[in-house]
Structure 1
């Protein structure tokens, strides 16, 4: 039973998912590397155009995941346990990747040749659509914060997905606006990048334990 349609996720789940979304956007990945590289090499406008493509990729993933999760939980009620364990394992993998020796700062970007606005947007879109981190996040992590008792699974998935997209856009906008300054900061203070990785790794590990040990909804 999916409950009354149109209801929101409860505040606890919404805030917990927002924390995961912040951790994800602060973790080095293809999306951040591409938008920052474009911002530094070609200017802020190029960075924002690239971010527009990334945002469209998020919308595609959100819609596919929202409708897919709804269908899955309707067809296979016990599928929640499978995605719960998969999500916990993925978070543990992220934690290991965050703290492994030689981890690369997302602000150590490479030079890129100038591109047209259309190519910038398309490459941003493809970078996101081909990013396994985003795919797994939507398919394995998002379901953990949906409680059928709170109402429509589809509505909750859309609200959570929109929250993730909003957080990603806000954080990446700050990075684009101050890309050059932040890059210089991390270049001359590598210890701060190491601290950032360990903080993210600890957060992901704690979330993985919570996810693996919580009971089935």
Structure 2
């Protein structure tokens, strides 16, 4: 039971940190809220969550099959995932961003921001790569990869949606805060350090 609680608490902490770090999803929600309105921004947030679920399903079924079929293939995936997280972490530490641009688009208003949110995540292979490299280390030994992957993705989606609602409710002050260079550099370096720690944990983990 303790291993299960430890996995859930550690993942939740990591998911909160990753969600708070400004990225494409944050930019989409803030931009939509500022330009199109709260309703459209909420639709975009729901679409982003649906995109995470699609990637989560792909990872859940693929990861479960991989673990069942080949220990060697799983080890290769594990080390590739650790290398990817290390690469992300080192880049964030050495080259933190100086600005977080929330672009103002001249595009005509869209009636389907949910679809934009879905496509924004589904067509981004980095989301899938990140899930493959990040989720396996939080699955306790002896537990179903399928069930746990969906469960972890659901936690990530919930945290992401709550953060999106906060962004939508306070678009202007949060957008101004997230544009500050010191904030961006601190968040990138903090996240980079966490990535390196998780990369080491993944590399030395056992099935």
Q: Secondary structure at 2:121's aligned position in 1? A: helix
Instruction: Work out the CA distance in 2 between the residues paired with 1:75 and 1:117.
Output: 45
Distance 1:164 1:102, change over 3 A: closer
- The match for 2:165 among 151, 170, 173 is 173
Note the aligned Cα RMSD (angstroms).
Answer: 2.3
Gaps of 5+ in 1: 1-6
1:49 touches 1:117 (CA, 8 Å); kept in 2?
A: no
Relative distance call for 1:78 and 1:146 in structure 2 (3 A) is farther
Alpha-carbon distance in structure 1 between the residues aligned to 2:77 and 2:123: 21
CA distance in 1, matches of 2:41, 2:71: 42
Aligned to 2:206: 216
Q: Corresponding residue for 2:147?
A: 155
Provide the rounded CA distance (Å) in 1 between the counterparts of 2:38 and 2:94: 31
CA distance in 1, matches of 2:102, 2:80: 31
- Aligned in 2, Cα 1:102/1:43: closer, same or farther, shift over 3 Å? same
**Residue 41 of structure 1 pairs with residue 32 of structure 2:** no
Judged with a 3 Å threshold, the aligned counterparts in structure 2 of structure 1 residues 24 and 83 are, in CA distance, closer, same or farther, namely farther
Give TM-score, length-normalised by structure 2.
Answer: 0.87
Give the structure 1 partner of residue 114 of structure 2. 121
Output the CA distance in 2 between the equivalents of 1:65 and 1:197.
Answer: 26
TM-score by length of 1: 0.84
Runs of 4+ in 1 over 3 A off after TM superposition: 99-102
Contact 2:50–2:118, Cα closer than 8 Å, also in 1: yes
Any unmatched runs of 5+ in structure 2? none
Aligned positions, number? 206
Range moving further from structure 2, 175-184 or 19-28? 19-28
Q: Distance in 2 between matches of 1:114 and 1:59?
A: 28
- SS at 1:78 equivalent: helix
Equivalent residue for 2:187? 196
Alpha-carbon contact 1:83-1:143 (below 8 Å) kept = no
Is 2:135 the counterpart of 1:135? no
Alignment of 1:7-86 (within 5 A): 10-86=4-80
Change (3 A) 1:114 1:182: farther
